[in-house]
Chain A
Amino acid sequence: MRIARASEPAVRLDRVSKAFGTRCVLDDVSFEVPAGSGFVILGRSGTGKSVTLRHIVRLMTPDRGRVFVGADEISGLSGAELSRVRRTIGFLFQNAALFDSISVGENVAFPLRRHTPLSDREVRERATAKLEAVGLGSEYDTMPAALSGGMRKRAGLARALALDPPILLVDEPSAGLDPITADEIDELLLGLKERGGTTLILVTHDLASARRLGDTLLMLHEGRIVAQGTSADLERSSDPLVRSFMSSQHSG
C-alpha cells in the first residue's frame, strides 16, 4: 500500500474501457476527482454514467484501464483489502436499494454493526442520529416498503453516510421524484458538501442539480467524455452535443 499524497485525487480513472457483449459502454475514459470537491457526471440515458459510478466501488471491473480510490487501485483488489477501501465509499443507489427484510433503522445500522465495534445501544443511537439528519428520525422501526420514494432515498442516503465515508457516490438522486422532493435531496447533499470533507460524485441528467452541486461537470456521450469543466465552461462550449444538452433544461 502506498502512502497517500496530500494532493492525491480522491478518485481517478485511468483509460477505462468497458463493453457488454459487442456494445462499448465506456471507451477510454480518464478523469480525476479532487478530494473534497463536487463532481457531476452528466449525459443522456445509456451513455455509461451509472457504469462509471459502479466501477468506482468495484461493482464492475474494467475490461481495460485502472480505477484508483485514493492511492489504492480498487479495480485490482479483492478480499479484505477491497473491503477496507469500500468502507471509505458511501453509495446511494438510484432506487435506494434498501434491504427490504429489515427496518429502515436497521438498514442504517447495518454497516455499523458489520464494520464497527460499537455496542448495540451505540449503534442504535448513531443510526437514529443519521436518520434525524435526513428528517426520518421517527421512522427507525418502519419497514422500507412503507416509505414513499423520497423517504426511501433519504433513508438510503442515511445508510450511505452511516460510516461517515470520505467519498459519497450518488446515482440519479432526482430520478422518480417530484421536483420538491428532488430539491430536498439536493439540499441534503449541498449541506454535506458545504460542511466540507466529503468528495461528492454525482450522476444525473438534472442540470439544475448539477449546477448547484458540481464544482466540475463531466459530460459523457456514447461512452466517451465530450466535455469537462465548470458549468460556465460547459455552457460556453461550441460542441453542438454539449450545447443542445445544456440548453435542453432551463430549470437551473
Chain B
Amino acid sequence: MAGHLYDSAIGLLTAAGDLAVFAFRAAREAFIPPFEFRETVRQIYELGLRSAPLILVSGLAVGVVLSMHTRASLERFGAESMIPAGLAIALVRETGPLTAGLLLSGRIGAGIGAELGAMKVTEQIDALEATAVDSFRYLVVTRVVACVIALPILTTLMNFSGMLGGFIAETIATGMSLRLYFNRAFSIIDLVDYVPATIKTMVFGFIIATISAYLGVKTESGTEGVGRASTRAVVFSSVGIIVANVILVRLIFFIFPKAAGG
C-alpha cells in the first residue's frame, strides 16, 4: 500500500516535471526562428475562429442569466439602474475570462489532446520527424502560440456577447434602449478592469495548449489512449485554469490595486 502510494507520488512528480520542461521549451521556442507562420495561422483559425460561435452563444446565455440575478438582487435596494454597470464589471473582470477559459479548455483541450494523440498512435508524428520536420515546433509551438493569441480575443467576444445578453434580458423586462443600456454599462468600467483580466487569459491559453499537447504527444496504447488523453486534457487544463486564476487574480490586485476597488 505504502509502496504503491510512493510509486504514484513519484509518477505524478515525474510527469509534473516533464510537463514543466515541455511548457518551458514551448515558451522558449515560440520566440526562436524559424517560425511556422502558415501552420500557426491555420491553428488560429481552427482553434480560435471556429470557437467563436460557442463563445457567442454561451456569452449571450450567461449575460441573460447574470442580468436576471442582478435584477433580483438590486431591485430590493431600488438600484435597478446599476444593473448594466454591475453586469459589465462582473463580466469583464471575472465571469468573461473564466467562463471563456473553461469553455475553451473543453473545446480546444479535447481537440488538441485527441488530434495529437491520434497522430501519435498512428505514427504521423514519427512520419513528420522522418520527413525532417521538427514535430515539436510544427505541432506544439504553433498550437500554443495560436491559443495565447486567440484566448484574449475570444474573451473580449464573450464580454460583448454577455453584455448583449444582459441587454436582451433588460429590454424585455423594462424596454430599455440599446443606447442607454451601453451608456450605463460603460459608465464606470475602466481599462484597469479590462486589460489585466484579459491578458490573464493569455496564461489560460498557454495552460490549455501545453497541457493538452503534452498529453497528446505522450499518448500510448492505441484508441483507448487517445480517449484518455482527450479526457485528461480537458480535466487537467480546466483545473489548471481554475488554480492559476486564483494566483493571477491575487497578482493583478497586487500590481493594480485599483483593479480591486469598486
Contact = CB atoms under 8 A, between A and B. Distances in A.
A106 B132 CA distance: 16
Interface in B111-143: 118, 122-124, 126-134
A186 B16 CA distance: 47
Nearest to A90: B130
A91 B132 contact: no
B225 to A, nearest CB: 16
A89 B126 CA distance: 13
Nearest to B123: A97
Contact of B126 (A97, A98, A111): A97
A10 to B, nearest CB: 16
A99 B124 contact: yes
Given A97-B122, A100-B122, A114 B131 contact: yes
Contacts of B118: 100
Contacts of A82: 132
A87 B130 CA distance: 8
A59 B130 CA distance: 7
Contacts of B123: 93-95, 97
A111 B131 contact: yes
Instruction: Report whether over half of chain A's contact residues are helix, strand or loop; otherwise say mixed.
Output: mixed
Contact of B132 (A54, A94, A114): A114
A57 B122 contact: no
Interface residues of B, number: 13
A243 interface: no
A181 B122 CA distance: 21
Q: Which interface class (under 10, 10 to 19, 20 to 34, 35 or more) fits A?
A: 20 to 34
Interface in A85-135: 86-87, 89, 91, 93-95, 97-100, 110-111, 114-115
A116 B122 CA distance: 26
B133 A114 contact: yes
Contact of A57 (B124, B130, B134): B130
Interface in A54-105: 54, 57, 59, 82-84, 86-87, 89, 91, 93-95, 97-100
B117 to A, nearest CB: 13
A110 B132 CA distance: 11
A89 B127 contact: no
Nearest to B42: A101
Contacts of A111: 131-132
A86 B126 contact: no
B130 A91 contact: yes
A83 B133 CA distance: 7
A95 B122 contact: yes
Contact of A86 (B122, B124, B131): B131
A59 B132 CA distance: 11
A84 B134 CA distance: 12
A93 B132 CA distance: 15
Contacts of A159: 131
B244 to A, nearest CB: 30
23 contacts: A57-B130, A59-B129, A84-B132, A86-B129, A86-B132, A87-B132, A91-B130, A93-B126, A93-B130, A94-B123, A97-B124, A98-B124, A99-B128, A100-B118, A100-B124, A110-B131, A111-B131, A111-B132, A114-B131, A114-B132, A114-B133, A115-B132, A159-B131
Q: Top 9 closest A-B pairs, CB basis? A: A86-B132, A97-B127, A97-B123, A91-B130, A83-B132, A87-B132, A93-B123, A111-B131, A57-B130
Interface of B: 118, 122-124, 126-134
